[in-house]
Amino acid sequence: MESALLRPIDLIVILVFLAVCVVIGFYCSRRNKSAESYFLAGRSMPGWVVGFSLMATLISSMTFMAAPGFAYAKDWRYMPSSLMFICAIMLGMFIFMPVFRRSNMTSAYEYLEKRFGIWARYYAAVGYILMQIARLGLVMYTVSLAVHVMLGPKLGATITMEWVIILLGIAVAAYTIAGGLEAVIWTDLIQGLALMIGGLICLPIVIMNIPGGLGEIFSVAHTEGKLMPAELFEFSFNKETVWMLLMPAILNALWCTEQTTVQRYIAPKTTKEAKKAMLVSFVTVIPVWVYFAFIGTAIFVFYKFNPNPLIDEVAKEPEKVLPFFVLTEVPTGLAGFVVAGLIAAATSSLDSSINACASTVTNDIFKITDKKSDNPSYGLKWGRWASVFFGIIMIVFALMIHWGRTKTIQDLQSIMTQVLTAGIFALFMLGLLTRTIGNKAAITATICTVFTACIWLFFDSSYGQEKFSIIANYLPNKFWFGSLLNLELFSIAIIFNTIFKWKNSKNITNLSIMSIREDAKLESKPATYISK
């Protein structure tokens, strides 16, 4: 691995990239005068920029390295589920976005309070924050590990893993804290371009070094079962087939209700621009996912024709395959662009999560902007301090993962996240698609769903599998967790509401799809008709 080192020119490219992001952050900070400008970019961003930002946020460092790594080691079984992203886009454009923009909301979870009560807002907000805390630490650790490996043994001994995490974390936190969502969106544009350029550099180098070029890649990949083998289409509750991955992927539509996405609904100037943002993210993110999976397959074929004695050792951790290829096969300077793309993939997700978590704490947990609504700078001050807090959390969790305390933390975070986010998407769908479902039915269904999640996790634990093996053996794979729990919550709410005939006492104007459509029809009638 001595050859797998970042050269001075590569390091300069990476440092310039990070410096540009920091400069953009501090430039945008001058326009932040209130919490709304800090968290929603003043509701004035162009749609195409927001769409590119959304794409960059969805392409994390986990995708940048994991997608090629998985395709290299196994196959394309995740690709059909990735295509289900179109469901999320359609739901976002035609169901969620009209509600959030028409109701003039600042938070995804403000909707749940208006529809069901304060408990629903806290339930979803706390669950989202826990999920993002776990993600912040993991993504930061992943990208820092890749950068540290690329530094090589000599430089890596001087700049230790701890310092890579701290320095990279400070850079990301600095421009996010300073510039708010506007800085996040503009830096995401730069980062999205960087990750796309980084990916585009790799494939031509692979093709030029394979006799037969592109055709040979597909031929060898098909022969070796690296695309979509027939056995992946078998239906099973316990094997990772296409169907197991496809059904839960439909519930990736939960992405439509996350604060990172809702901020993008609201940031554009008009609804037309907001829809443009969603379309831009759709036409860019799926090709990027497919492209990086294909790079992994192409690298597999590359090493068939160009054997490297180190690749088998590297491939024991498939996520390292692409970084290894970049630093051993990509020319000096160009490698720096690819590594910058890797860092961009991480930072574009991290900055969005930090800002969204700060927004959730400020607007949903403490409701700072409500308490001092007459003082716009008060919410801005709290928002910045909340961003500082989550920047520190990101660095601390990444360090704890590195120091080997990960397993307990990750297990705990995984359990808490799965329990506390159980059925959140179903709550949103109940609110948007029904009129009669109110607080009683929603809270009853949520309690039942959380109880089911706890029981499921207990029987799936090592203790449960040992003591109650008969039950544990019949449990579906955890890939079904989100699908079944959301289905349970939605169904229980409908059933209980039907049986007990609970009435919804809340005003749902502009809070359900039906009410919005009715209002729109009424507004389209002549004034003389309305007056009657």
pLDDT for residue 439? 92
Residue 10 has pLDDT above 90, yes or no: no
DSSP structural state of residue 477 = P
Provide the token pair at 173: 């936190």
Q: How far apart are CA 155 and CA 258, in angstroms?
A: 40
Angle at which helices 213-223 and 271-305 cross, to 10°: 80
What proportion of the chain, given as a percentage, has pLDDT over 90? 13
Cβ pair 340, 348 in contact under 8 A: no
Over the range 196-228, which residues count as b (16 or more CB within 10 Å of their CB) and which as e? bebbebbbebbbeebeeeeeebbebbeeeebbe
Asked whether residue 414 carries a pLDDT value surpassing 90, the answer given is: no
What's the pLDDT at 372?
56
User: Best-predicted range by mean pLDDT among 127-136, 300-309, 416-425?
Assistant: 300-309
Tokens of 61: 């460092």
**Residue 62: predicted pLDDT:** 61
Contact (Cβ atoms closer than 8 angstroms) between residue 28 and residue 188 = no
Report the sign of the C-alpha dihedral through residues 462, 412, 55, 151, in that order.
negative
Confidence of residue 287 (pLDDT cuts 50, 70, 90): confident
Q: What angle do CA 304, 305, 310 make, to 5 degrees?
A: 60
Residue predicted with more confidence, 441 or 225: 441
What residues contact 179, with CB distance under 8 A and at least 6 apart?
24, 25, 26, 27, 28, 29, 32, 186, 187
The residues near 344 (Cβ < 8 Å, ≥ 6 apart) are 17, 56, 190, 191, 192, 194, 195, 198
The one-letter amino acid at 145: L
Angstrom distance (rounded) from CA 145 to CA 155:
14
Instruction: Report the SS3 class of residue 248.
Output: helix
Query: What residues does CATH 1.20.1730.10 cover in the chain?
Result: 8-24+60-406
Is 322's pLDDT higher than 50? yes
Q: What is the CATH number of domain 8-24+60-406?
A: 1.20.1730.10
pLDDT band at 410 (very low <50, low <70, confident <90, very high): very low
User: Which has more pLDDT, 92 or 228?
Assistant: 92
Q: Given a cut of 90, is residue 395 above it in pLDDT?
A: yes
Q: Which tens digits make up the pLDDT trace of 517-526?
A: 555 554 445 4
Q: Name the most confidently modeled range: 91-100, 118-127, 190-199.
A: 118-127
Mean pLDDT of the 307-322 span: 83
- The rounded distance, in Å, linking the Cα atoms of 242 and 254 is 20
Q: Is pLDDT at 106 greater than 90 in this prediction?
A: no
What lies within 8 Å, CB to CB, of 196 at 6+ separation is 288, 341
